[in-house]
Structure 1
């Protein structure tokens, strides 16, 4: 029985090791496994919390590789199915030391995109305390969107706490208008919404943290807090009760790869809430893990164990 659950597409990534070179010019790659939701599951598990992950993989070598890696992280695989008719999602990814990386995706019509709602009718949510949902999975296809909505409704029915990260991936959507409408609608059912300020500019037309927070608090059906990621400055927090404040970020000593920082923020928030920490403590941990992640290669290499997190805090004293 797990404390945490998420749904997503694990992406086998052929990641460039040539820093800041374009994918055209890169000649050296390493094979890793990422995917926003899986990153969060890995981070939460690494901090000592039991996790479950819902997805579908192809029967190809990449699918078998993904399952092997997921199991190595001790993440629950009870709801991982296999599809012999569709391939496992994969991508090429640029290594960048600032900004967003260039990626080239092979995810259209993937196995995960074909995970239908009737394939996980027997998901046991008893014991689940927090579910993390992301805007990526519903972008894959109409089928995955239906599966996403089914799980969301079941979580709501069972009064399970939901965190939601918009995780905008415009290249996965048919059009920008559909992306904005769908993401903003899905956000309404989350207890905590965690957009970035740049995402706010796309979704509601402003990157002002307070305006972004006010929008999701006003329109949410159950939203109790909005955490707006504002880059190195940290995060702006506003709650339904009217509290608002900025939680400062942690300075990264050396930026290696920016990918996974936002997911690391979610890891910190979720794991701290599972440990009954205050919201401010949770956001502080989110900022800390985001900072640790950008100082390592890969999508989730910087997510700490409890001892590593304690050592990080101690090093700041």
Structure 2
């Protein structure tokens, strides 16, 4: 049985970032990068020294090769990546902005990862992890991917391992809002550690206040609920304690994409390191702050040294 510190899965894409501002139809030059919520978390954990495996499928094409090579550089275990000879790897075009949320155009419905299934990964039976991280994005891709997610969740439960879940709502990937909420909730309520944003939690539960959103999930059996509140920080709740962990002041918000993934890295790594829930979320706020100050999805994810230096000088809002 091969064991990792963490296993996660999903779809990685090539990301072509516009080198100049303006409508993507007018941009002529782009910079190629790697995109994917779960790969961001994998890379973030690997940079902190953890043994992480990422499971997926990519095409036998230049973008697929690029993704594998980038993950290898980051020391993410790639033994669970399959190559598809018939389907290509998805990609996206990302707008350049001065600050805030950039527009992103996705090209993924044809992708190799879109139809990956349990049958593609028989070796999962011989692999385990200390922790399994999941997001809501793969659940929207197709029924086979959703069945794979269910299989991995049940495997983690059977093994008695912890599961974290980030809803990462992408309404455009779903047939309708009702289906999205139903499927996401079926996974969220079985997680040990749950990381919704405040707007996601409100949509999923119907409650507006962080304490009510958290209470909803705690009543369902979730052990730790951390609700992301943007620059205000995060609300932390367990059955025994709750409270706000203030955010970290940032110099400039360059790009918010990937901040939630960095936040997940902070909580998971902090709990791995034996920090208290509040200390782990303080780390999560710090990594989220580093992420939003960087233009790329993963460029702001720190090494341990970079994280320690930032947290020493980081001003709390």
Shorter-chain TM-score bucket reads over 0.9
Alignment of 1:1-317 (within 5 A): 1-19=3-21, 21-123=22-124, 124-126=126-128, 128-220=129-221, 223-241=222-240, 243-316=241-314
Aligned partners of 1:7, 1:316: CA distance in 2, in Å? Answer: 32
2:287·2:301 contact (CA, 8 Å) conserved in 1? yes
Q: TM-score, normalised by structure 1?
A: 0.94
Matched positions, count: 312
How far residue 240 of structure 1 moved from its aligned partner, in angstroms, is 2.3
1:196·1:230 contact (CA, 8 Å) conserved in 2? yes
Moved more, 284-293 or 173-182: 173-182
How far residue 25 of structure 1 moved from its aligned partner, in angstroms, is 4.1
Aligned partners of 1:13, 1:289: CA distance in 2, in Å? Answer: 22
SS in 2 for 1:17: strand
How far residue 99 of structure 1 moved from its aligned partner, in angstroms, is 4.2
1:256·1:295 contact (CA, 8 Å) conserved in 2? yes
SS in 1 for 2:20: coil
Unpaired runs of at least 5, structure 1: none
Q: TM-score, normalised by structure 2?
A: 0.94
Deviations 1:64-102 (A, max 9, x none): 111111111111011100111111011111234544332
2:100·2:254 contact (CA, 8 Å) conserved in 1? no
Unpaired runs of at least 5, structure 2: none
Aligned partners of 1:294, 1:240: CA distance in 2, in Å? Answer: 31
CA RMSD, 1 decimal: 1.5
Aligned partners of 2:23, 2:149: CA distance in 1, in Å? Answer: 34
Deviations 1:84-136 (A, max 9, x none): 1111011111234544332111111310111111111222444x221110000
Aligned partners of 1:293, 1:119: CA distance in 2, in Å? Answer: 33
2:100·2:255 contact (CA, 8 Å) conserved in 1? no
Aligned partners of 1:18, 1:271: CA distance in 2, in Å? Answer: 35
How far residue 34 of structure 1 moved from its aligned partner, in angstroms, is 1.4
